[in-house]
Amino acid sequence: MTQAEVEGSLLGRATRVASVFAKYGLRETRGSADPIEIRARRLRDALEELGPTFAKLGQILSTRPDLLPAEFIIELSSLQDDVAPLTEAEVVQVMEEELGVPWEDVFASIDPEPLAAGTIGQVHKATLESGERVVVKVQRPGARDEIMRDLGLLRLFAEKTESREALRRIVDLPAVVEHLSNSLQRELDFEQEAANIDQMREVLQPFSRLDAPGVHHRFTTRRLLVLELIPGGPVREAPQGPERKEAAGQLLEAFYRQILTDGFFHADPHPGNLLWSDGTIYFLDLGMVGEVPPDVRERVLLLLLAFWQEDVPFLAEILLLLAPELPEELDLDAFRDEIGELLAEYRHKSLSEIQLGPIMQGLTEIASRHGVRLPAALALVGKALAQMQLTAAELDPELDPFSVVGGFVGKNLLTRVRTSADPKRIFYEFQKLEVRANALVEAIERIAGARPGARMQIDVKGTTPLEDTIRRAARALSLAIAAGSCLVAAGSTAAAHVQSWIPVTLGVVGGVLTILLLVGLRRR
């Protein structure tokens, strides 16, 4: 395609998009009297009329309550992939293009009726030449070109409207487009989805009632995904009994682990993406996943615990720590008051009635109203937690989410104690601490002039020389760090019931260092 053809295609599509938005009154106007619910419904209708790509964009936007008002999130959540299914000839064409051989060389048969037809892919049952039943997902021809074209238009629009303050107060469009682009490009790569499935199966290994279908990597490409066929039905139709309740508890606990330990979670775990088969819940459709950085994971856990303790000031503090940057003018009292109001909504509810997903979404919306931009991962966590807990509650209405959190925290702490009780790790951490303490002493002595290099010189008449004071303080600090580390390590190893000489030795060393520290302080 020539440059002129590309520009003509973009221009034609831009004209179409502009005319549809104008039809539904979605123009940037000041002082619009229309209620926000009406404007949200018009946006949903416009995206549906613009076709599958824009419907997909709306679905992804519905997972970001930090970027759009709640009324828009509710409307966009109802968007559906209303697309015509591919013909059998189109499915076969994609398969043969990806496999490089006639489809009969790999498959014995393909069911002509699709299991599902979406914006990006279509799913069919099939049988391999070996006789094994599988599920085949093929990418719609032209899906990548359509999505890239529409994303290009959105980027241009975001660039041209970035300076319009009125629009920025409603939505951070550049952030929206960046998020949509990353999400859609990941979903267009079926090899990435296969890698997500492998990683999820590894994460779910400790849970006997959770799994994901295996991948046939030999036949999987960027546009073709082949999975083992799991016979089963909707998770909501799981038979009553102990297996159902056990699976509900594992589902919630596994999701806490995905978010708070592994930092990798299913970002769209609605009931349609969960399958019940022979006492096990299978995770399906891992094209959309979320990732949580290590620093965010620990603070998310603190968020949940602070909410449990109804500690409004600490909850507000954690939210502000999560933000990469804070607004110049932040009304901290109003910020805390809104968080307090959110807590008050749940104060008189039983633990089983508290839904963690809406709590997270509510905190995200409060932060957004005050100009506090939280990490995108936090919004995805809230959305996914809401979906996951609804499913777990359907499986077991008596399930207490905070008891599951407590169990998860207990197991996590026990794992850390056991890890810290490893003699090799204790030796490593002690040596690392010693190196850092020595480096600190050297740095302070260098500043004071006791070592070669640039130094700070201050003359203070009638007092103890500054160099001696700093040197003594640095040595006392290093003794305190070393003594504290030995005593903590002694306690951890004693609790883990390792060989008795290890905690005894660490305790004696810690005690000696503590005595030396106290003697030195007493002399001064």
Question: What was the pLDDT predicted at 49?
Answer: 83
Residue 151 has pLDDT above 90, yes or no: no
CA distance 382 to 112: 38
Does residue 147 surpass a pLDDT of 80?
A: yes
The span from the CA of 485 to the CA of 464, in Å, is 31
Amino acid at residue number 502: I
Rounded average pLDDT over 251-257: 87
**Mean pLDDT estimate for the chain:** 78
Long-range contacts of 317-325 (CB under 8 A, 24+ apart): 319/363, 319/367, 319/372, 319/374, 320/372, 322/296, 322/374, 322/375, 322/378, 323/367, 323/372, 323/373, 323/374, 324/373, 324/375, 325/373
- The pLDDT, as a whole number, for residue 347 is 64
Q: Over range 195-219, report the average pLDDT.
A: 95
Summarize pLDDT for 36-50 with one digit per residue, the tens: 888 888 888 888 888
pLDDT, tens digit, 9 for 90 and up, residues 279-336: 999 999 888 888 888 888 878 877 877 877 778 888 888 888 888 778 878 888 999 9
Q: Where are the alpha helices (DSSP H) in 36-133?
A: 36-49, 52-61, 70-76, 88-99
Q: Which CA distances in Å does 490 have to 199, 278, 509?
A: 36, 47, 10
Predicted local confidence at residue 59, as pLDDT: 76
Task: Tell me: pLDDT of 89 over 80.
Answer: yes
- The per-residue pLDDT for range 447-463, each reduced to its tens digit, is 555 555 544 444 444 44
**Is the CB of residue 300 less than 8 Å from the CB of residue 256?**
no
d(CA 98, CA 92): 10
CB 123 within 8 A of CB 115: yes
pTM of the model: 0.70
Report which listed range, 8-17, 343-352, 437-446, is most confident: 8-17
pLDDT band at 72 (very low <50, low <70, confident <90, very high): confident
- Interval 455-484 mean pLDDT: 57
DSSP H stretches of helix in 50-87: 52-61, 70-76
**DSSP 3-state of 14:** helix
pLDDT confidence tier of residue 233, bands split at 50, 70 and 90? very high
Q: Confidence class of residue 93 from pLDDT cuts 50, 70 and 90?
A: very high
- For residues 111 and 164, is the Cβ–Cβ distance under 8 A? no
**Dihedral class, residue 132 (left if φ above 0, else alpha if ψ from -120 to 50, else beta):** beta
Q: Which residue has better confidence, 514 or 436?
A: 514
Cα–Cα dist 314/294, whole Å: 20
Rounded distance, CA 57 to CA 163, Å?
23
Q: Do residues 157 and 147 touch, judged by C-beta distance below 8 A?
A: no
Of 169, 171, 168, nearest to 179 by C-alpha is 171
Alpha-carbon span 481 to 501, nearest angstrom: 22
Q: Which of 293, 256, 294 is nearest to 410 (CA)?
A: 256
The backbone torsions φ and ψ at residue 449, rounded to the nearest 5 degrees and listed phi first, read 100, 5
Catalytic residues: 268
Instruction: Determine the Cα–Cα distance for residues 46 and 42; give it in Å rounded to an integer.
Output: 6
Considering 15-29, 270-284, 353-367, 439-453, the range whose residues carry the highest mean pLDDT is 270-284
490 or 15: which leads in pLDDT: 15
What is the mean pLDDT of the segment spanning 59-73? 74
pLDDT surpasses 80 at 423: no
CA distances (Å), 69 to each of 64, 169, 358, 469, in order?
9, 11, 14, 58
Cα–Cα nearest to 76, from 116, 53, 117, 48: 48
Specify the higher pLDDT residue, 184 or 167: 184
End-to-end Cα, the chain, rounded Å: 83
pLDDT value at residue 193: 94
523 against 363, higher pLDDT:
363
**What confidence score (pLDDT) does residue 412 get?**
60
Cβ neighbours of 111 (radius 10 Å):
14
Q: What pLDDT score was predicted for residue 475? A: 67
Rounded to whole angstroms, the Cα distance separating 350 from 62 reads 29
Strand partners of residue 281: 210, 276
92 has pLDDT over 80: yes
* Closest by Cα among 319, 380, 417, 458 to 186: 380
Residue in the block written with tokens 């503090």: 317
Note the pLDDT tens digit of each residue in 384-394.
887 888 888 88
Judge whether residue 270 has pLDDT over 50. yes
Q: Per-residue pLDDT for 209 more than 70?
A: yes
Q: What is the per-residue pLDDT across 324-364, written as a single tens digit (0 to 9) for each?
A: 778 878 888 999 999 999 888 876 665 456 666 777 778 88
Q: Taking residues 205-215, what's their average pLDDT?
A: 95
